[in-house]
Chains A and B, each alone.
Chain A
Amino acid sequence: MPETLTPERQEATASHAGAGPAARLAARLSGSTLVWPVLALAALVVVNLVVHPDFLSVRVQDGDLYGNVIDILRNAAPVLLIGLGMTLVIATRGIDLSVGAVAAIAGAVACVSITGSSHESALSTAVVASSLALATCIALGLWNGFLVAVLGIQPIIATLVLMTAGRGIAMLITGGQITLVHNTHFDFLSSGFVLALPFAILLALALFAITGLLARRTALGMLIEAVGINPEASRLAGVRARTILWTVYAFSGLCAGLAGLMISANTSAADANNNGLWIELDAILAVVIGGTSLAGGRFSLVGTLVGALFIQTLKTTINVIGIPSEMNYLFKAIAVVAVCLLQSPKARALLTVRRRARVGTKAVAA
């Protein structure tokens, strides 16, 4: 969604598309924070192609598309959504640890609402249940916003409250059972296809585009960044810092809710213990890999998009290249550390100096 890019990012992507001399291209690229996650993602795809040359192949079945790439896109939707909300929260110098638990609550509310309905398989049932779940999640987000903006509790602690309590609440809602539902309309959220593509990823991308437009076409993005960089200066300049905090946490709640519905729809069940488990960490990783600093301030939504795709591709890669399952987490950790190091200007400078030294040119001391 190029229309949501800031000028300098636009420039970087435009040059990425490849016009103009190679030198200028390289110079421009190295200035963009987006290069490294994109390269990392490309590298992952190459690894997969080496192991399975048909990795990228997509086949058509009953008019819908199937294949590894499609699976990655579909499965990336929840992390993408949660990463979207998380990006804005992190831009205000905050963090939202409760998203996984909120996702579980969304599933619980929706599934219990569906099983309690007299027309369990009706479309209206699915719509009502989903709306109810999303409203609940917005309320939970507002609760987080209240703790942070009004009571002034540190975001990591404030959202830890709901992270811990949230799964308990989900258990209370489901009565401690895994609640199974039979509603194909609800399942559509995860497994449905629209225009030959998975509905889940289309929905996530649509929300992404709307948010990007809101952030960059209005002044919202700039004001969020201002609050994240210097809250006191922003307050003195008349920015409604509190309202902005409430808004981003509520939005994060909404995104987590939508992700929770997808996760729940994927198995047609609400599992209070396992739905959305550790997804907050994947989302935070996606944001960081995308180049948004945890210190708040400037944020990149496109970066988060690439980050989320990277994380999902990494998960798939682990399966595809047959890394033993006990190595899963270790492999993921190493890959993430490598990408983060590549993004750090200091680490890159070190690498450059080494390489130059090896080539024999004069190494420049830092």
Chain B
Amino acid sequence: MTQMDTESPAVARGTSDPVIEMRGISIAFGGVPALDDVDLRLFPGEVHALMGENGAGKSTMIKALTGVYSIDSGTVVLDGEEQQFSSPAASQAAGISTVYQEINLVPNLTVAENMLLGREPRRRGGIDFKAMNRQAAASLERLGISVDPASELGSHPIAVQQLVAIARGVDVDARVLILDEPTSSLDADEVEMLFSVMRTLRDHGVAIVFVSHFLDQVFEISDRMTVLRNGRLVGEVLTEETTQLEVVRMMIGHELAALERLESASGAGVDRSARPVLKALGLGRKGSLEATDLDVYEGEVVGIAGLLGSGRTELARLLFGADTADHGSLQVEDDRSHLRSPRHAIQRKLAFSSENRRAEGVIEDLTLADNMLLALQARRGWMRPIPAAMRTRLVRQYIEALDIRPPDPNALMRNLSGGNQQKVLLARWLITEPQVLILDEPTRGIDIGAKAQIQQLVADLAQQGVAVVFISAELEEVLRLSDRVVVMRDREKVAERLNDDLTVADVLEIIAGSARQEEPSDA
């Protein structure tokens, strides 16, 4: 992205040079690029937000900077000198300090002991606890954190522990502080506390990298942003010169037309006067989803759009009974009984492919065939194993239909690529012949070819009468496939539109539009 300078109108706020400049960073894992020619500049005395959806490359970028991953190509320049951080320790020694979401401290030591762990002041061969408490108290005070250094760390709330972790991080002459999702478990007051510490540090000239999914917080605290998408740099902007809508657009993006627009002929055939196959009424769960209504009809693709944390995944999980709803009802055909478990949902011909392929989909040490047949076998019960002939036939049929590679039923699942694993998981559900197929991010993190195949498959299934709930962070994809689009924001359904002349811009506006009061009502 050489045109970056022209894209970002203003350069530094101050007159200073960047403390860190990363140029043309590329990293690939097993041939799949995670970062492709990405730049990042950090100026002293600035809060810099690193933005992007899941899988955009934020954490990879951070790990490249902190020496956790080695860089395939590109340079890291610190104070005008090119650096090669071979390990986290090397980057720490250069003044780059990271505080992760999960706190890496020892809860049963005191605050001061934690802050000075590994560099305790010594006196006559032992630890000088007085000096230690004094030093810790001084550092905490400088940041305006009021905690007794002699108290046990674990006795404080998470927010305070996080502040202590930050204090520890910047105590070692940090010039760059990286905060990865620091606010995800904090309440509003605690966030304010954190922000005031961040402002103090910024005023001391520390460059802060802030990663957060909360747009409001990003706009409140940051001075500058770098937006990534699919491992590429979208651009660098100054916070005061942009809007939430603009940033969301950058994050989600207009995907280049590498994929042809699918014929959405299916839309015409949807009969919404009939009884919906799946009907949710006021379905919700405390702390994860407000009461939500949703009807899904036979042969229809309902797309769900929204940012991460908007409630899109939570809705999918409630529809399938992966989590239990604590209010509202769910009707499958004319059966209104509550879904108690995924097993129960599967018996009602529902299927759900989780966004978290590794943790909630793949059984790594079993074979491709076992993975593919798992849901069917589970429905039959252990006493009725799938006969060998049927097994062979089904596995062969789906390997062929979905073009799974390697086409070896006995290949271990762990040795398949992400795209092929995803296809096996889809096959797992298709084999159960579902009436309703709920797909949460089925195309995330897979190569473009597999992506197109999966999209085509979804369109074909709808044509065959399957009702599909399709969730994706990529709006282009949602609009390409869906007959109807539901937009989620802040754990709530905020709009529902027929997808006739809906554009990405329309949907973006609804997603970002908390400030806009002239929000369009439901279709």
A residues in contact (CB < 8 Å) with B: 217-220, 222-223, 225-226, 229-230, 232-240, 297-298
Given contacts A230-B360, A234-B378, list 6 more A-B pairs with CB under 8 A.
A218-B382, A218-B383, A226-B366, A229-B363, A233-B354, A237-B342
Q: Are B383 and A234 in contact (CB under 8 A)?
A: no
- Residues of B contacting A230 in the complex (Cβ-Cβ under 8 angstroms): 359-360, 362-364
Residue of A nearest to B369 (CB): A222
Q: Are A229 and B377 in contact (CB under 8 A)?
A: no
- Residues of A contacting B380 in the complex (Cβ-Cβ under 8 angstroms): 219
Q: Are B342 and A226 in contact (CB under 8 A)?
A: no
Given known A218-B383, A219-B385, contact A240–B364 (CB-CB < 8 A):
no
How many angstroms between the C-alpha atoms of A351 and B463 in the bound complex? 60
Q: Are A233 and B361 in contact (CB under 8 A)?
A: yes
- Residues of B contacting A225 in the complex (Cβ-Cβ under 8 angstroms): 363, 365-366
Q: Are A229 and B379 in contact (CB under 8 A)?
A: no
Q: Identify which of A217, A220, A233, A238 contacts B363 (C-beta below 8 A).
A: A233
How many angstroms between the C-alpha atoms of A218 and B383 in the bound complex? 6
B277 CB-CB contact with A under 8 Å = no
Given known A226-B366, A229-B364, A229-B365, contact A234–B374 (CB-CB < 8 A):
yes
Residue of A nearest to B342 (CB): A236
Residue of A223, A225, A234, A237 with most chain B CB atoms under a 10 A cut-off: A237
Residue of B nearest to A227 (CB): B363
A-B contact pairs, 5 of them (CB 8 A): A225-B363, A230-B362, A234-B363, A237-B346, A237-B428
**Chain B interface bracket (under 10, 10 to 19, 20 to 34, 35 or more):** 20 to 34
Minimum distance in angstroms from B424 CB to a CB of chain A: 12
Q: Are A222 and B379 in contact (CB under 8 A)?
A: no
B352 CB-CB contact with A under 8 Å = yes
How many angstroms between the C-alpha atoms of A234 and B361 in the bound complex? 8
Q: Are B362 and A237 in contact (CB under 8 A)?
A: no
Residue of B322, B366, B378 with most chain A CB atoms under a 10 A cut-off: B378
Q: Are B378 and A239 in contact (CB under 8 A)?
A: yes
Residue of B320, B363, B366 with most chain A CB atoms under a 10 A cut-off: B363
Minimum distance in angstroms from A37 CB to a CB of chain B: 20
- Residues of B contacting A220 in the complex (Cβ-Cβ under 8 angstroms): 382
- Residues of A contacting B341 in the complex (Cβ-Cβ under 8 angstroms): 235
Residue of B343, B364, B370, B382 with most chain A CB atoms under a 10 A cut-off: B382
B375 CB-CB contact with A under 8 Å = yes
B505 CB-CB contact with A under 8 Å = no
How many angstroms between the C-alpha atoms of A236 and B342 in the bound complex? 5
Residue of A218, A220, A236, A239 with most chain B CB atoms under a 10 A cut-off: A236
How many angstroms between the C-alpha atoms of A225 and B367 in the bound complex? 11
B11 CB-CB contact with A under 8 Å = no
Q: Identify which of A223, A233, A238 contacts B382 (C-beta below 8 A).
A: A223
- Residues of A contacting B346 in the complex (Cβ-Cβ under 8 angstroms): 237-238
Residue of A226, A232, A233, A240 with most chain B CB atoms under a 10 A cut-off: A233
Q: Which 10 A/B pairs are nearest by Cβ-Cβ distance?
A: A238-B378, A238-B346, A239-B378, A220-B382, A238-B343, A219-B385, A237-B375, A219-B382, A237-B374, A297-B365
Q: Are B378 and A240 in contact (CB under 8 A)?
A: yes
Residue of A nearest to B375 (CB): A237
Given known A223-B378, A237-B342, A238-B346, contact A218–B385 (CB-CB < 8 A):
yes
B386 CB-CB contact with A under 8 Å = yes
Minimum distance in angstroms from B439 CB to a CB of chain A: 13
Q: Identify which of A217, A219, A236, A298 contacts B377 (C-beta below 8 A).
A: A219
- Residues of B contacting A240 in the complex (Cβ-Cβ under 8 angstroms): 343, 378
How many angstroms between the C-alpha atoms of A236 and B341 in the bound complex? 8
- Residues of A contacting B378 in the complex (Cβ-Cβ under 8 angstroms): 223, 234, 237-240
Residue of A nearest to B320 (CB): A236
Q: Are B342 and A217 in contact (CB under 8 A)?
A: no
Minimum distance in angstroms from A240 CB to a CB of chain B: 7
Minimum distance in angstroms from B361 CB to a CB of chain A: 5
Q: Identify which of B322, B343, B366, B428 contacts A222 (C-beta below 8 A).
A: B366
How many angstroms between the C-alpha atoms of A229 and B365 in the bound complex? 7
How many angstroms between the C-alpha atoms of A289 and B366 in the bound complex? 21
Given known A232-B360, A237-B378, contact A219–B386 (CB-CB < 8 A):
yes
- Residues of B contacting A223 in the complex (Cβ-Cβ under 8 angstroms): 377-378, 382
How many angstroms between the C-alpha atoms of A217 and B384 in the bound complex? 10
Given known A219-B377, A222-B377, A238-B375, contact A233–B359 (CB-CB < 8 A):
yes
Q: Are B360 and A229 in contact (CB under 8 A)?
A: no
Q: Are A232 and B359 in contact (CB under 8 A)?
A: yes
Residue of B nearest to A242 (CB): B341
Minimum distance in angstroms from A210 CB to a CB of chain B: 14
- Residues of B contacting A238 in the complex (Cβ-Cβ under 8 angstroms): 342-343, 346, 375, 378-379
How many angstroms between the C-alpha atoms of A234 and B377 in the bound complex? 11
- Residues of B contacting A234 in the complex (Cβ-Cβ under 8 angstroms): 363, 374, 378
How many angstroms between the C-alpha atoms of A226 and B362 in the bound complex? 10
How many angstroms between the C-alpha atoms of A232 and B317 in the bound complex? 13
Residue of A nearest to B343 (CB): A238
- Residues of A contacting B322 in the complex (Cβ-Cβ under 8 angstroms): 236
How many angstroms between the C-alpha atoms of A229 and B412 in the bound complex? 13
Residue of B nearest to A8 (CB): B410
- Residues of B contacting A297 in the complex (Cβ-Cβ under 8 angstroms): 365
How many angstroms between the C-alpha atoms of A240 and B340 in the bound complex? 13
How many angstroms between the C-alpha atoms of A150 and B366 in the bound complex? 26
How many angstroms between the C-alpha atoms of A230 and B377 in the bound complex? 16
- Residues of B contacting A239 in the complex (Cβ-Cβ under 8 angstroms): 343, 374, 378
Q: Are A298 and B363 in contact (CB under 8 A)?
A: no
Minimum distance in angstroms from B86 CB to a CB of chain A: 19
Residue of A nearest to B347 (CB): A238
Q: Are B342 and A235 in contact (CB under 8 A)?
A: yes
- Residues of B contacting A217 in the complex (Cβ-Cβ under 8 angstroms): 385
Q: Are B352 and A236 in contact (CB under 8 A)?
A: yes
How many angstroms between the C-alpha atoms of A180 and B361 in the bound complex? 55
- Residues of A contacting B360 in the complex (Cβ-Cβ under 8 angstroms): 230, 232-233, 236
Minimum distance in angstroms from B351 CB to a CB of chain A: 10
Given known A233-B361, A233-B363, A238-B343, contact A226–B374 (CB-CB < 8 A):
yes
How many angstroms between the C-alpha atoms of A229 and B362 in the bound complex? 9
Q: Identify which of A218, A219, A233, A298 contacts B362 (C-beta below 8 A).
A: A233
How many angstroms between the C-alpha atoms of A217 and B383 in the bound complex? 9
Minimum distance in angstroms from A220 CB to a CB of chain B: 4
How many angstroms between the C-alpha atoms of A219 and B374 in the bound complex? 10
- Residues of A contacting B320 in the complex (Cβ-Cβ under 8 angstroms): 236
Q: Identify which of B363, B384, B385 contacts A226 (C-beta below 8 A).
A: B363
- Residues of B contacting A222 in the complex (Cβ-Cβ under 8 angstroms): 366, 370, 377
- Residues of A contacting B384 in the complex (Cβ-Cβ under 8 angstroms): 218-219
Residue of A217, A218, A222, A238 with most chain B CB atoms under a 10 A cut-off: A238
Residue of A222, A226, A229, A298 with most chain B CB atoms under a 10 A cut-off: A222
Minimum distance in angstroms from A177 CB to a CB of chain B: 44
Residue of A nearest to B429 (CB): A237
How many angstroms between the C-alpha atoms of A234 and B425 in the bound complex? 12
Residues of B321-379 contacting chain A, CB below 8 A:
322, 341-343, 346, 352, 354, 359-366, 370, 374-375, 377-379
Q: Are A236 and B354 in contact (CB under 8 A)?
A: yes
Minimum distance in angstroms from B377 CB to a CB of chain A: 5
Minimum distance in angstroms from A73 CB to a CB of chain B: 32
How many angstroms between the C-alpha atoms of A222 and B370 in the bound complex? 8
Residue of A nearest to B322 (CB): A236
How many angstroms between the C-alpha atoms of A291 and B381 in the bound complex? 28
